[in-house]
Amino acid sequence: MIRVNRAALCYRDLLQLQGYYPRMKYPVILGHEVVGTIEEVGEGVTGFEPGERVISLLYAPDGTCEYCISGEEAYCHSRQGYSEELDGFFAEKARVKVTSLVKVPKEVSDEAAVLVPCVTGMIYRGIRRSGGIRPGEMVLVTGASGGVGIHAIQVAKALGAKVIGVTTSESKAPIVKKYADYVIVGRKFSEEAKKIGDVTLVIDTVGTPTIEESLKSLWMGGRLLQIGNVDPSQAYQLRLGYVILKDIKIVAHASATKRDALETLKLSTKIEPVIAATVSLDRINEGYELLKSGNKVGKVLVKP
């Protein structure tokens, strides 16, 4: 049992509310991103003590199968998702499974820690799976002012990249510029990106509205890391020529493992959490209004 220090709102909540998550049990408590303090430890649980600060993965793996043992617990057949099969974290206290817990080092703030499972750690995992970042490599981030994008810039920078941030909002460009080396404003960004340099990794946090330009932005041998899907009802028709003739690798995914979480926590002192607002549980709808309005930079947090 943990006391929730911070939880976070996510676009996934909105997709869940629209019925895109078929594994959800009803009723279920929403919220899949959390940092908390352990209050009580279940019988037979070892390795965790009351008073310790922890984050939880987005899901609880069984901890015993071949995927779990090899450190790829995201692929566990019997994993259960928080706010899907298991109650989530929009609460004062939450019950969590020990298989999903990762300890938070003292020097990492609650704000930085709560971003790890679904934002910074998820991005870190994607970069790792796409082959890592070479020093000085040119990385382009779409949706750069969003809750994922503004932190994707920082994770890529912390790993040694030069970063181009793409936003559709002129008014948000100065904030993106604070973190990125270059900023492009607009929906057609590939031509301008090519003028800046050879982009060999695109972190696309938007989805169908940007994937075409993302692919066009890439130089040969590049990788597209697809982590955004703002409108799952939209299909995208992939022209294979883009990926075949340019040796493109597409990596797509949605969550972090414990290894990713631990490595990201170590990196987290180099990442400044960008928080659009922190709301209380009874004002959570105001947080969702802010999320839907697009009129914000960074993540919306919940402090119970």
Residues of this chain that bind Zn ion (CB under 5 A): 10, 12, 61-62, 65, 68, 76, 118
Which CB atom, from 137 or from 260, has the smaller least distance to Zn ion?
260
Which CB atom, from 7 or from 76, has the smaller least distance to Zn ion?
76
Cβ(76)–Cβ(65) below 8 Å: yes
Going by the DSSP 8-state scheme, the letter that residue 70 receives in this structure is T
Which CB atom, from 31 or from 222, has the smaller least distance to Zn ion?
31
Which CB atom, from 138 or from 271, has the smaller least distance to Zn ion?
271
Which CB atom, from 14 or from 185, has the smaller least distance to Zn ion?
14
The least distance separating Zn ion from the CB of residue 67, rounded to whole angstroms, comes to 5
The least distance separating Zn ion from the CB of residue 299, rounded to whole angstroms, comes to 9
* Spatial CA neighbour of 120 closest among 232, 222, 33: 33
The least distance separating Zn ion from the CB of residue 206, rounded to whole angstroms, comes to 15
Which CB atom, from 144 or from 199, has the smaller least distance to Zn ion?
144
Which CB atom, from 61 or from 228, has the smaller least distance to Zn ion?
61
Which CB atom, from 217 or from 268, has the smaller least distance to Zn ion?
268
The least distance separating Zn ion from the CB of residue 63, rounded to whole angstroms, comes to 6
The least distance separating Zn ion from the CB of residue 81, rounded to whole angstroms, comes to 11
Half-sphere exposure of 248 (CA within 13 A, CB side): 26
Cβ(132)–Cβ(159) below 8 Å: yes
Query: Quick one: residue 196, left, alpha or beta (phi over 0 = left, psi -120 to 50 = alpha)?
Result: alpha
Is residue 24 classed as helix, strand or coil in its secondary structure?
A: coil
The least distance separating Zn ion from the CB of residue 117, rounded to whole angstroms, comes to 8
Q: What is the DSSP track for 78-125?
A: T-EEBTTTB--SSSSEE---GGGEEEPPTTS-HHHHHTIIIIIHHHHH
E-assigned strand segments in the chain: 2-8, 34-38, 53-56, 59-60, 80-81, 93-94, 101-103, 138-141, 162-167, 182-185, 199-204, 218-226, 249-252, 275-279, 299-302
Name residue 17's amino acid: L
The least distance separating Zn ion from the CB of residue 143, rounded to whole angstroms, comes to 14
The least distance separating Zn ion from the CB of residue 30, rounded to whole angstroms, comes to 11
- Taken in order 8, 10, 12, 13, the sign of the CA dihedral is positive
**Terminal Cα-to-Cα distance of the chain (whole angstroms):** 15
